[in-house]
Amino acid sequence: MASIGSKTYDATSSKKVAFLGLGVMGFPMAGHLARAGHQVTVYNRTAAKAQEWAGEFGGKTAGTPREAAAGAEIVFCCVGNDDDLRSVVLGDDGAFAGMGKAAVFVDHTTASAQVARELHAEATRRGMHFIDAPVSGGQAGAVNGVLTVMCGGEQDVFDRIKPVAQVFGRAVTLVGAAGAGQLAKMVNQICIAGLVQGLSEGLAFGQAAGLDMKLVLDVISKGAAQSWQMENRGSTMVDDKFDFGFAVNWMRKDLGLVLEEARANGARVPVTALVDQFYADVQKMGGGRWDTSSLVKRLRD
């Protein structure tokens, strides 16, 4: 079975690109690049995953980020955190060591704004370019090529990468200078955290009151309470299903970045801090790999 959905791509010239990190997001994102006609070389820390990808999509595999990046016009990356990102970018085997002048590194990792600015400065020093470009839309968005991509960097560099990134994104937007993409993703996660907690409380309240919550969701989703989370996760929350989507462990990593940035810039995020602790409770329940909508289980169990 194909690991990506069908999509019609806008006609663009074929580019030589690399993709570093073939996790639940990177694997289908790189697949869309290959399906759209780009020449893709992939690197993954576990080489078997890179071989699996090449078996499905063609393209080439590389033993190091440096080898993957050699000759690439654009190097895409989607790994776990700041440390993972530095490990594939810097050092003798890192992507920067293999990239040519004027090449662009596009980072889709949800990382700190600080590391984005750090790597942007290093790329600039080397005569290359760096765009921080975290994504929203989860695994389904990556599979179907409809991610929201929030970018930080220079306009002219962004203009070069946008047509290529659109093969896996439905909205690819420059929101500001280096680090702004990561900050926008933090705003995204703040909004989601509070919303999912509110939805969880509403569902738990309705079930405690004996309501038919699928019927209630159908009614209120036509009004002011409507949201993506309600439309896509409401019924599965009622059914106690949490085996898909964006994992609690990943959300806690993201909210940790939010809280660290808030301490630095003075922003007040009391609800986010509280929901972060609620997610810690879900982890203690053994739900680290459950979808983020599992907040409702904490209210039931």
Q: How far apart are CA 269 and CA 34, in angstroms?
A: 41
CA atoms within 13 A on the CB side of 249: 8
Q: Which of 49, 162, 185, 297 is catalytic?
A: 185
- DSSP tally for the chain: helices H, then strands E: 14, 9
Residue 93: burial class (beta carbons within 10 Å; 0-12, 13-18, 19+):
middle
Please tell me whether residue 148 adopts helix, strand or coil conformation.
strand
**140 touches 3 (CB < 8 A):** no
**196 touches 125 (CB < 8 A):** no
**67 touches 73 (CB < 8 A):** no
Q: How far apart are CA 255 and CA 70, in angstroms?
A: 35
**Catalytic residue flag (residue 185):** yes
DSSP assignment letter at 210: T
Does an H or E element contain 40, and which?
Answer: strand 39-43
Task: State the DSSP string of 48-83.
Answer: HHHHHHHHHH--EE-SSHHHHHTT-SEEEE--SSHH
Residue of 50, 10, 48 lying closest to 27 (CA atoms): 50
Annotated active-site positions, please?
Answer: 185
